[in-house]
Structure 1
């Protein structure tokens, strides 16, 4: 029997709580299937539920959970320390934590704009800042950010959200060049609308808004969770070592080239 491609590696996936959309937990599950030991984190305590589900569903999986606000530098330091204390290494970071406050720009308040930036940009900045030294020391790492296709297509009501996700996209290219010689790749997966619990809730609450968000997608539907997760997990593999600094849209054609 062949050895799983990520056997012995340790992955940290943020925003992977049970009730937070599902992208993070689907990615975490996929990494465990590839043999990685997985630490899942979320601002909600449902991260433990995700860890338990993966451990029960994937034979031989090793998992752990963390709960905390990753826009807080000290919380992130503790999170990365947990991975190192438990497994002694950190090979993979998936910056999925986020969640948009989606509204017309002038309907935002200073508080909602700060929250949007905190959730989507500072979480990725701090997690990357604390994970990178360990990857540099090991001379190996895979960082995958979850960005947003709305940065490219100017989707309605997304300007505040795009300010944060655009920062993630920009950080991707800068870090990719800076750390390429340490065999650390940095890429972003940029989804369009995704068929999550949150998206289905938006459909139930305001069908016209959900329809507007999917109207720009030539495939005529939101992405499924596994369609996003499969790209993210692929970028975590050793064989993806020559792909770096890329923002890869998984978007049903809503932007092209």
Structure 2
């Protein structure tokens, strides 16, 4: 049986750690060739070690850079073209916000939250759209946030950035549908990544963040956090050719914390 993504090339931003690494692993398992975009070389090296069954330079490649900066999206596209000849799937996973009460934000934390979560998506998406349109095919999947819907405590600024990603998606989906490109969001609730799990076990997380995590789990009817495989499965579906009638959607992976 042919793997569902056989012959396709994917770019996963923030693909070396956490949810992104889980997405990278799933897309590789489904037959895609994957370029992992990381912020630091050390992250990329660790990811290569964890993905040791895959052949670097054959079905796995990497790129390092700050994707919020001008020109970064074009550099990423060039790296993918040089490695694999093109991009069929873009997963906008790079992100990470400063989660704190709104009035405790500073100019620096405001900018970093918007840069990391919205500008990264804009830079990379705008870079690949002409490439995908010229090929007549594309899947763009951005990682949003359940907190945009449920107003999770201390997430207002983070939600401003992720809400922008949600809104960008619907506009692009309608505009680029005639070009054969679908654009969707996967919006997780609280996901217990290996990195976060390690911090909880070590007791090294700030008390305020532990409180936010506890509140997030209380809102989930399934009474557990999500894991990276839950999110990766949703991304893998939207990356497939047979998801082609799904566009402009926010697919909530939330354990039921919001419904309808």
Same fold (TM over 0.5): yes
Taking structure 1 as reference, are residues 198 and 159 closer, same or farther at Cα in structure 2, changes over 3 Å only? farther
**Residues 28 and 34 in structure 2, CA contact (< 8 A), matched pair in contact too:** yes
1:202 offset after TM fit, Å?
A: 5.2
1:174 offset after TM fit, Å?
A: 0.3
Within 5 Å, give how 1:152-231 maps onto structure 2. Answer: 152-200=149-197, 201=199, 204=203, 205=205, 206=207, 207-231=210-234
- Aligned match of 2:93: 96
1:25 offset after TM fit, Å?
A: 0.8
Residue 127 of structure 2, aligned match among 114, 126, 130: 130
Q: Which runs of 5+ in 2 are unaligned?
A: none
Q: TM-score, normalized by length of structure 1?
A: 0.93
Superposition misfits of 4+ residues, deviation over 3 angstroms: 58-61
- Aligned match of 1:6: 5
Q: What SS is found at the alignment partner of 2:71? A: helix
Q: What are the superposed Cα offsets for residues 97-150 of structure 1, whole Å, 9 maximum, x if unpaired?
A: 001210000000011000000000000001000011111011000010000000
**Residues 17 and 44 in structure 1, CA contact (< 8 A), matched pair in contact too:** no
1:198 offset after TM fit, Å?
A: 4.3
Q: What are the superposed Cα offsets for residues 64-116 of structure 1, whole Å, 9 maximum, x if unpaired?
A: 11111000122221111011112211100000000121000000001100000
Within the alignment, does 1:36 sit opposite 2:50 as a pair?
no
1:35 offset after TM fit, Å?
A: 1.1
Taking structure 1 as reference, are residues 107 and 197 closer, same or farther at Cα in structure 2, changes over 3 Å only? farther
Q: Which runs of 5+ in 1 are unaligned?
A: none
Find the aligned partners of 2:73 and 2:106 in 1 and give their Cα distance. Answer: 27
Aligned length: 252
Find the aligned partners of 1:178 and 1:102 in 2 and give their Cα distance. Answer: 33
**Residues 140 and 182 in structure 1, CA contact (< 8 A), matched pair in contact too:** yes
Q: TM-score, normalized by length of structure 2?
A: 0.92
Find the aligned partners of 1:47 and 1:122 in 2 and give their Cα distance. Answer: 21
Q: What SS is found at the alignment partner of 1:73? A: coil
Q: What SS is found at the alignment partner of 1:57? A: coil
Residue 253 of structure 1, aligned match among 238, 253, 256: 256
1:51 offset after TM fit, Å?
A: 3.6
- Aligned match of 1:62: 59
